[in-house]
Structure 1
Amino acid sequence: MNDALKATLAPTLKSWIESANDPRSDFPIQNLPFGVFSDAVNERPRAGVAIGDWIVDLAALKDARLIDAHGTFSEPRLNAFIALGRESWRAVRVALSALLARDTPTLRDDAALRRRALVPRETATMHLPVEIPGYADFYSSKEHATNVGSMFRDPKNALLPNWSEMPIAYNGRASSVVVSGTPVRRPNGQLKLPDEPRPIFGACRKLDIELETGFIVGQGNALGEPIPCEEAEAHIFGMVLLNDWSARDIQQWEYVPLGPFNSKTFATTISPWIVTLDALEPFRTATPAQEPEPLAYLRHAGDHAFDIELSVDLRPEGAATATTISRTNFKLMYWSMAQQLAHHTVSGCNTRVGDLLGSGTISGPTPDSCGSLLEATWNGQRPVRLEEGGERAFLQDGDEITLRGWCQGEGYRVGFGECVGRILPARSLT
């Protein structure tokens, strides 16, 4: 990381956009996450960067010749920009940081340009930031895997032998990945009731969340050419929050022998802002100890976890108050993002710009740090109590789930914003 890039991470750096200097803001000048937005003045989706309460219109800055990215910012997805490579991502970050710094007058003192280039976040509509060619979801939290294994198998053998040897994953459905704020309809499917000889068809009765993060592939690999673990982070553009909604009762019946299918394909929600790995660099930390030592292709030196605080809020329909049902941290993940990407490609599988890889449910060691209701309620046996009364074993129609994530710095935080979804009733197929 060169000196110019390091300067964008200085805790003392301030912006002339005052809301960005609020220590509670997710989007200080040290963050500068990328997304795609539109607004009432210009309904064309285009690239933007969040700072404080505002969005910087990158297409407007490109037109004013203040940043250079080969004309990619007017497109409705970020893929073309991401495909330019890490040096281009970093060049735009450095240019934006300089433009938005408190003592830089170029944009600050040009009222006409500010009107074109700054859009209030509250008036903007956010869109899916990337075209997602492929989606895979991992199972990399040891606490989560242990909880699930204990629940459905012998607690003494909660982890299967392969879990500690490689990052376990399944290939999901990219077409049903949606941006935060998109309603999620309760799925229908086959349900096997314990007292019935055959399955019935109906609406999911055990609809659940999965608190996850995801990363966006920024540089793919050719078919047959694996990505080495030590080089994997250079292939990652950034991270999002991710809720891999799960129909537990459909999943329980269908997952043998090939794993989840309809229980996962109906929706996966991601946050609209992609936080780059460069913005997360000050929050890098060590991964948990891995025993046994991974095979050679999964080894990497240094610190490859990130200290990201995570939370889940549940607000029932009509309720004024949400209940925080989970608090945990990304740094607990047993397998790193680099290891996940290296394992995904070691067979020769090619990845493409915009591919989404989910972390898997992120749980901690305490009951209030479970990343799913399946764990928090022990498959419905111990419902969680809500702030305004009532309880939940699994999600009900009208429930709204909000994921949040942030890294706490000295006087500032680098946040992901919100990842929100509200449950709609299942469609009637009769």
Structure 2
Amino acid sequence: MPVNRREFLSSSAAALTATTLVPPSFAAALQPGAPPGKPRRYALVGTGGRGSSMWGKGVKDTWGDTVEFVGLCDPNPKRAEVVRQIIGVDCPVFTDFDAMVKAARPELVAITTVDAHHAEYIVRALDLGLDVITEKPMTIDATQTQAVVDAEKRNKRKIIVGHNMRFSPAHVRIKELMLSKPIGTIHSVDFHWYLDTSHGTDYFRRWHGIKARSGSLWVHKATHHFDYVNWLLDAEPVQVQAYGGIKRYGAAGPFRATNCRTCSHKAECPFYWDMTKSASAMRLYGGEVEKADGYLRDACVFRPEITTYDTMTATVKYSTDVIMSYSLNAYMPIEGYSLCLNGDGGRVEIRSYGGQPFEVASEMEVSVIKAFGTRTKIDVPTAEGEHGGADDVLRNLIFRRPQVPDHLRIPDSRAGAMSALTGIAARTSCEENRPITISELVTF
């Protein structure tokens, strides 16, 4: 059952409670909430694709009455200026964070930089008295996580982590299904994520292919998945054992170049991407913007400096004694995931189809299979908008502050830390070939 995005953010959203597919709590999350009052002074650090859209133009267009854009910050001033035009604001642009805070005096800052720099801006913003919205992952290593935890302790400010995956109508429906304990006590989880040769490959064209910048896909991508499971189980990770390798990209490739536009293997490379055919990519990353910092948005997926794993598997033990088997592969012919929760009363099976070369009956299939009993199909809603409508819900919760039940509360620093630490532990386990206990990484 598709839900129109415009319905989400209008007074007609209340009518969504009448359908059995859309949870009432989901409809509540889209209500206006308290009057916004005086707009908060708002700044954006990091003006790439996610910053310019999710936390830039998307905020201004729909929640612009709740914030006043007072500054954009990026080490590349050319990109920041382009994004200022994309968003449609007249605030100044900066290359230095402290200079922006001093001149623009923001109250709230959204951090959408390269992952490796999230923590430094979070800590500095807290110490300067600002509230923080940060894209996931909150941090990419244990040292950064400890620094953020310590900074929050010494400051009375708020951290919001952009774990949007929780907030699609389908996932809210699944969460509330699990709250009803349809299969009793959960004992194990099977979770397998598939990135196809469009989405998965694109991580290896960008800075995400370098572990030192992204923390690897264990952190950049899987932190979404780990937060989802933490939320569904209402549990935290305790120990992780993992393995990973570079099997398809990087040095595993048959040839290499600097980037696609200058490559002599265009005709034979299955991953060749003509960036010049994407107006948005050229505007954000081409021309004068590219010249300003040398960042190549279409870097070769076979360049030898790639250090991010494309093939990964892990076993995670949780505080509730649940054990999860998890895998991620970044070169599949399909996109989506398979998630199964196994309990003493049966099994919940979830299959999400993000894209595949064959037809499916629905985007998501959910079933409850009772032990010694029957299989019941659970209908779940779908929605328009980024990430299945989840981005709109997260922003509405942040900027409108409607009243919602606890399971729809905005992810905080603890959620950000636990999801990131699962991936950090997995990456460390791959590197050190041993199980990693979460408590050895950070002291809360």
- Asked if these proteins are the same fold (TM beyond 0.5), I'd say no
TM-score by length of 2: 0.24
TM-score by length of 1: 0.24
Q: Which has the higher contact order (CA 8 A, sep 6+)?
A: 2
| Bigger proportion of residues as helix | 2
